Structure 1
C-alpha cells in the first residue's frame, strides 16, 4: 500500500494542491446513468498536504438541502470506505445472483441511508482504501493523528461544499471507529467553541457495534457466550467465581481460572464471532481469543478458506465469499477510471488493510461519551445481538456507567409488525442517547439487517420514537 520513493516525489509535486473532486455519472456493472449524485475526490491534510484522503460523497435522495450530513468512518482500523458503502449503507451493492467471479454486477440498495442523508464515506486512516501519503513518514499513524487528519479533512470538505454547512452534522461509524468517532465529534465541538471556520452544525454522533473500552468489551464475551447458550451455566458460574469476573489477561497462577477459560475456549473455538449463527470459514479450528487482548484483524477475516464438507454439499456458503467481489471490481481499470483514482498511488486495493503502521493509543473513550452528552449532543448506539466480537452486553455495561436517566426502559421496537430489536432511551437534558439492539444481526449490524437498520436510522434522524 506504500509508494515507491521517486513516484512519491512525482505525485507529491503533481498533486500539491491536495484538492480534486469529480462527479461520477456511471459505474461499471450498473446499467445506465447513476440515479443519485456521486462525487469522489482527494483532499490533502497534514504538513504540506502530504496525506491524500480519498472520499465518496453521495447526496441524499430525499432532500439534500434539508437532510443531515453524515461523515461515515468504516472500522478496522484500515477498512475501506467502499466496504461501508457497498456492504452496509451505500446506494449500490453487488448483485450476487447475477455476478460471476470474472464480472461482478451491481444493483441498487433499497435500504441505503442516502435515502435520508447526505453521506461522506472517508478512506481513513491513510493507507486505507485509495488514500495514500507522498512520504513514508505519512503512513506512521495512531488514533490521535487519525482524528486530527479526519477533522482537517472535514473542515476542508465543507469549505469546498458550503451549501452543506448549515445541514445537521453527525459523525458516524462502526466497530473500531467507536474509538475515533467520539474523538472527532469532540474536535468538531471544540472547533465550534473556538470559532474555527467553517462553523459546523454539529447535532450528534452514531455508532454501530462500537469498540469503546477494550477491557470491558472483550471481557463481555464470556457472559455473552453464557447468555447465548454457548457455554453451560455450570461453567459460567465457575469461571465467574474463579476469575472474579475478569476473563482477559488472567493471572496464570490462578489455576482454576486458567482451567475455566480453557474450557470456554473449547466451547467457542469453532464459533464465527462475527455472527454466532453463521459458519466459520476456516480449514482448521483457530485459536480462541476469549482470553486475549484486542486484535482488530480478527474482525475482518477476508480470506475465504476451505470448509469442512457436509453430507449435503461439498462447500458451505460463507459471508467472506461476498467480499471477493469487491477485490475483483476495484481491480478493474475501468472501475478505477470511473472513480477517478490517481494511477500509481497504491499498489493494490484491499478491503481491510491489515499492514497499516497504526498504533492504538486510546483504549477507553467512556469519559468522552460523558462529556459529549453533557454538551447536549444526541447519540445513537446500536449493536447486533448475535455479535460476539463486541457483544451488546459489554456496550450496555459501559452505557450504564454514564448514570443517565432512563426515559424509556428496555422495550421492543418493530419493523413491519415484527420485533426488530430492543431499545432503551436515556435522557440527560438537553441531549438524548438511544441504545438499540438489532435482532439476529452480527458484526456489524448494518450488513446483516439492512432493512431494520434503515428503519432505525430514519426514525432517529426524524426524532421519531424507537
Structure 2
C-alpha cells in the first residue's frame, strides 16, 4: 500500500467540489502516503503522509509528528497547523508557506491503532505507552525499509498535547533499542537526536496544581470568580491524590477513570462558564450551546471522508471512518491508567544522554497550560537541573523565516535554556502554536533542529 517512489508532481481537481493537491506547484516538495504493516503485531496497519523537505531533502533531518488525544489523528495537524496546505471551507486547498517541511523531511502519523486511517485486528488493540513506543519503533523500521535514503539521517520526534506522553514514550523506546547490545543487525539504526513537545501533558501530578493560575493571564481575561479559583486550588489536591493512586501497581481501572474525570470536571469544567475556547482563551465561545463549534474545522472531516480523497490516498476498506478523535482509544488509555502516568523520567534519560529537548507552550491554552509545563521542567531531576533553574528567563525573539535575515524581530515569548534543554512560553498562541503563530513556530522548530541558540 505504501509508495516507495515519491509521488509525481501535479495539481488537479477531483469530482468538481473536492480538490486533491499534489506536487511541486502546490507543495514545493515531493510526497508519499500509505500504510506500514507493523512487524510486531498481528495485522496492524499505520497510515502516514510524508513530505520531503522543500529545501535540502538529501540532507535535512527526518521529523515525525504525533498529535495527541489520546486518539487524535495527525492528519488534522497536517491540514490545519504545520503541514504543506490547509483546507478551505469550500474544500479547496491553500498553500502553507510556514509548513514544517520547509527545512525538514516530515512524517505525519495516525496512531495508536484505530486512530484516523490506521487500523488493525482486535488482537492489535493498544492500551498504553508501552504499545505506543513499540509500535512507533516498528513503524519506523518499515518506513526506513521503504525509503532507505533516510536511514541514518538525524531524526526527531515532535508532537503536542497528549504528545507529552507519546513523544517521550516513543523516543525512550528507540533510545533503549539503540543501546541494546543484542540488536538485530538487519534492523535500521534510528539516529535519534531529540524531541519537541508543544502544550503537552507530561507530568500530571505537577501540572494539575496550576490550572487555577490561568485566571491571571496576560490577556486580562477573567475566567473564574475568586471563589471558583479558590475551590479549583482545593480540588486540584484531590485530583493529584487520585492520580497518584492510579499510578500505583496493580492499576485500578475504576480509580484511573475517576482520576481523569476529576481533571475534566474540576480542573477544566469550571472554565466553561467564562464562555471562552479552552484551547485558546482569546476566542469567545458560547459554551452553553451544545451545538457550538469552537476551534473546530468541520471541513477537514468532510475532506478526508470524501470518496475522491480516500481513493487518491488509497485508504484501505478496513480503515474506520475518519474522525479527528477516537473515543474508544481515549477510553481505553484512560481506564488502563495511561492518562495519569508521568513521562518526565523518560525525558530526563534523554537529556542526560545529551539528546536535545524542547518544551514549548502557547500561553492562551487552558488544557495543558504553560504554567504547569514550566513547573514540571523546573522540577525535572537531571544532571543540569541546577544550572537550568538558575538560568535567566529572557525574551524569545523570533524572526519570520520567509523574510530576509534581520528584517523582522518578533517579541514572541520567554525562553529558559541550558545546554540541550529549553522551555519556551509562546505569546499570542493557544494549544496549537503552529496554527496561531506559524512564523514563530517554524522559526522555533528550525532553530531547534539546527541546534541553534533560542
Fold shared per TM-score above 0.5: yes
1:49 Cα shift? 4.5
Residue segments in structure 2 that go unaligned for 5+ positions in a row:
14-18, 243-261, 399-407
1:71 to 55, 61, 64: 64
| Separation in 1, partners of 2:421, 2:417 | 6
Alignment of 1:394-413 (within 5 A): 394-403=372-381, 404=385, 405-406=387-388, 408-413=391-396
Is the 1:24–1:339 Cα contact (8 Å) retained in structure 2?
A: no
For 2:323, the equivalent position in structure 1 comes to 350
- Alpha carbons of 1:262 and 1:358: their partners in 2 closer, same or farther (altered >3 Å)? closer
Is the 1:231–1:264 Cα contact (8 Å) retained in structure 2?
A: no
1:462 to 439, 450, 453: 450
1:84 to 77, 82, 86: 77
| Separation in 2, partners of 1:32, 1:358 | 36
For 2:204, the equivalent position in structure 1 comes to 214
TM-score calculated relative to the size of structure 1? 0.78
* 1:127 counterpart = 2:110: no
For 2:122, the equivalent position in structure 1 comes to 136
| Separation in 1, partners of 2:74, 2:270 | 35
SS in 2 for 1:248: helix
1:282 Cα shift? 3.6
1:209 Cα shift? 0.6
1:161 Cα shift? 1.8
| Separation in 2, partners of 1:369, 1:162 | 28
For 2:195, the equivalent position in structure 1 comes to 205
Deviations 1:296-352 (A, max 9, x none): xxxxxxxxx248xxxxxxxxxx432xx21111111221111221212x212411122
- Alpha carbons of 1:235 and 1:149: their partners in 2 closer, same or farther (altered >3 Å)? closer
Alignment of 1:6-85 (within 5 A): 21=4, 23-25=6-8, 26=10, 28=13, 29=19, 33-34=23-24, 35-47=28-40, 49-85=42-78
- Alpha carbons of 1:211 and 1:19: their partners in 2 closer, same or farther (altered >3 Å)? same
| Separation in 2, partners of 1:306, 1:167 | 45
* 1:275 counterpart = 2:280: yes
| Separation in 2, partners of 1:203, 1:169 | 6
For 2:344, the equivalent position in structure 1 comes to 366
Is the 1:217–1:394 Cα contact (8 Å) retained in structure 2?
A: yes
SS in 2 for 1:358: helix
1:329 to 291, 299, 303: 303
1:435 to 423, 429, 439: 423
| Separation in 1, partners of 2:239, 2:439 | 35
1:93 to 81, 86, 95: 86
Is the 1:276–1:386 Cα contact (8 Å) retained in structure 2?
A: yes
- Alpha carbons of 1:337 and 1:245: their partners in 2 closer, same or farther (altered >3 Å)? closer
| Separation in 1, partners of 2:266, 2:117 | 41
- Alpha carbons of 1:249 and 1:464: their partners in 2 closer, same or farther (altered >3 Å)? closer
1:272 Cα shift? 2.0
Alignment of 1:302-321 (within 5 A): 305-306=291-292, 318-320=294-296
SS in 1 for 2:48: strand
SS in 1 for 2:392: strand
Is the 2:198–2:360 Cα contact (8 Å) retained in structure 1?
A: yes
For 1:292, the equivalent position in structure 2 comes to none
For 2:237, the equivalent position in structure 1 comes to 246
| Separation in 2, partners of 1:265, 1:182 | 28
Deviations 1:24-69 (A, max 9, x none): 4446525674431110111111556410111111111111121111
For 2:417, the equivalent position in structure 1 comes to 425
| Separation in 1, partners of 2:126, 2:415 | 40
SS in 2 for 1:200: coil
For 1:113, the equivalent position in structure 2 comes to 100
| Separation in 2, partners of 1:235, 1:32 | 51
2:434 to 435, 441, 446: 446
Deviations 1:53-94 (A, max 9, x none): 111111111111211111111111221121121111111112
- Aligned positions, number: 396
1:462 Cα shift? 2.0
For 2:364, the equivalent position in structure 1 comes to 386
TM-score calculated relative to the size of structure 2? 0.80
| Separation in 2, partners of 1:454, 1:264 | 29
1:19 Cα shift? 5.8
SS in 2 for 1:440: coil
* 1:225 counterpart = 2:215: yes
Is the 1:20–1:43 Cα contact (8 Å) retained in structure 2?
A: no
| Separation in 1, partners of 2:365, 2:415 | 16
